[in-house]
Amino acid sequence: MKEFLNKRELIETITPVIENTAMRYGLIPLEILLERENNRQFLRIFIYSPDHNVSHLDCENMSRGLGDMLDELIPFKYFLEVSSPGLDRKFKSEKEYIIFKGHDVIIKLKNSVDGISPKTFEAKLLDYNEAFGIKIEYENQEFVIPMEKIHSTKLNDKIEINKNKGEQDD
């Protein structure tokens, strides 16, 4: 292994390990960040489960499952944080548009779109296409919005959270 990897190369190196570990637990890593704070390096992994709310047990399983493997790949001291992205988090990758297809979202536009008057609105995310953007259902009509017209997208925060769902019973 190289003595020094830049941040991008390091993320590319560890991503397959993180994805494989997440898959073993039925999870999907949405975002992997390597950040420096207060002279410490933090590796932050935000995970999602398609069939239950992410629990403390999910985060713990990921942390334990990754620990030794990441220690071999990361050539410096770091702090590992595994968590749910939370409902208020804006989508940060195309991957999220694919994962959350069929969910209700809140979209904030940069530029107007024909047929949609408010700049911020709730809609159902129907599809994502790299070339054309997203397809949504808004007020019982389907619209295609190019990605360059979207300022931000996030899950609709009216989703009910069951904190115990996904955790094992004793």
63-97 confidence digits (pLDDT tens)? 999 988 999 999 999 999 999 987 788 998 888 99
Which of 154, 157, 117 shows the shortest CA–CA distance to 139?
Answer: 117
Q: How confident is the model at residue 167 (pLDDT cuts 50, 70, 90)?
A: very low
Overall average pLDDT of the 43-48 stretch? 95
The pLDDT mean for the chain works out to 87
Round to whole Å and give the CA distance between 116 and 20.
Answer: 41
State the pLDDT confidence band at 169, using cuts at 50, 70 and 90. Answer: very low
CB neighbours of residue 139 within 10 Å:
11
Looking at residue 170, what is its pLDDT?
38
CA angle 150/110/155 to nearest 5° reads 40
Does 163 score more than 90 pLDDT? no
Q: Topology of domain 94-155, per CATH?
A: SH3 type barrels. (2.30.30)
pLDDT of 2 strictly over 60: no
Tell me: the pLDDT tens digits for 101-144? 999 999 999 988 888 888 999 999 999 999 999 999 999 999 99
Question: For the stretch 109-130, what's the b/e string if a residue is b when 16 or more beta carbons lie within 10 angstroms of its beta carbon?
Answer: beeebeebeeeebebebeebee
Domain chopping of the chain, boundaries? 7-83, 94-155
7-83 architecture in CATH? 2-Layer Sandwich (3.30)
- Cβ contacts of 9 within 8 Å, gap of 6 or more: 2
